[in-house]
Amino acid sequence: MIDTAVAAAVTAFARLVTGARGNWLGCLPDPRPRVYFANHSSHGDFVLVWTVLPPALRRTTRPVAGADYWLRGSLRRFIVERVFHAVLIERDPEKRRLDPIRQMVDALDERASLILFPEGTRNTTTAPLLPFKSGLYHLAKARPGIELVPVWIENLNRVMPKGEFIPIPLLCTVTFGAPLLLAANEERAVFSERCRAALLALAPRRGEGR
């Protein structure tokens, strides 16, 4: 009950601050399990993707988040576990008890969709996108039939850059590209580069030449 109310409040706030708008460029919303993979520059990224999904899909779409960050503090823990039903993975291989790929595959098998940030960490550089970690590839290999949808989040890094406290109410767009599938015998490096290129292609060309 309270988690539904908090979810509504969080999405309403996200809409108010960012005017968030979903742009379904390469596909339409679909209830089948999918992996939405997005660029990552802010802790609010998965909230924004979740906000622009149709309400029926929100209930079955789970963000994949780092346990080390989100389990610190009871408010964070409540939001990420109870409100967003995140799949919490341990990023440090040394401390791992559960296999992250196994956790994600289990979620897909339970008919959930995932929101994944294949860069593995927030991008605070001036490069538009960091190199991808191998998670997306291993996930696609374990469940080859699952559609992988590139999702470009525009402007959220300007709304709330790292280390700032006041959000700037700029307009954010979330663009969904055409789904990708792992090809038979496709090598990891080739596949990762293909996914990365598909995601980068969704970034607006604005301000080029600067």
Residues that bind another protein (CB under 8 A): 19, 21, 155, 158, 161, 164, 166, 168-171, 204-207, 210
Q: Which is nearer to another protein, 83 or 156 (CB)?
A: 156
Provide, rounded to whole angstroms, the least separation between the CB of residue 161 and another protein: 5
Q: Say whether 21 sits in a helix, a strand or coil.
A: strand
Cα separation, 98 vs 122, whole angstroms = 23
Find the farthest-apart pair of alpha carbons in the chain and give their distance in angstroms, rounded: 50
d(CA 101, CA 93): 12
Tokens of 35: 């992996």
Rounded to a whole number of angstroms, the minimum distance from the CB of residue 176 to another protein is 16
Q: Closest CB to another protein among 127 and 166?
A: 166
Shortest distance, CB of residue 170 to another protein, whole angstroms?
Answer: 5
What residues are paired with 151 via a beta bridge?
38, 176
Q: How far is CA 122 from CA 13, 99, 107, in A?
A: 22, 22, 23
Q: How many CB atoms within 10 Å of residue 86?
A: 21
Q: Which is nearer to another protein, 25 or 183 (CB)?
A: 25
Contacts of 126 (CB under 8 A, 6+ apart): none
Minimal distance, residue 162 CB to another protein, in Å? 8
Residue with smaller CB distance to another protein, 97 or 205: 205
Query: Backbone phi, then psi, for 52, in 5-degree steps?
Result: -85, -5
Nearer Cβ to another protein (145/207):
207
Q: How far apart are CB 155 and another protein at their closest, in Å?
A: 6
Alpha helices in the chain (DSSP H): 2-18, 45-52, 55-58, 67-70, 74-78, 100-109, 135-142, 156-159, 188-200
Q: Please, which residue, 11 or 18, has the CB nearer to another protein?
A: 18
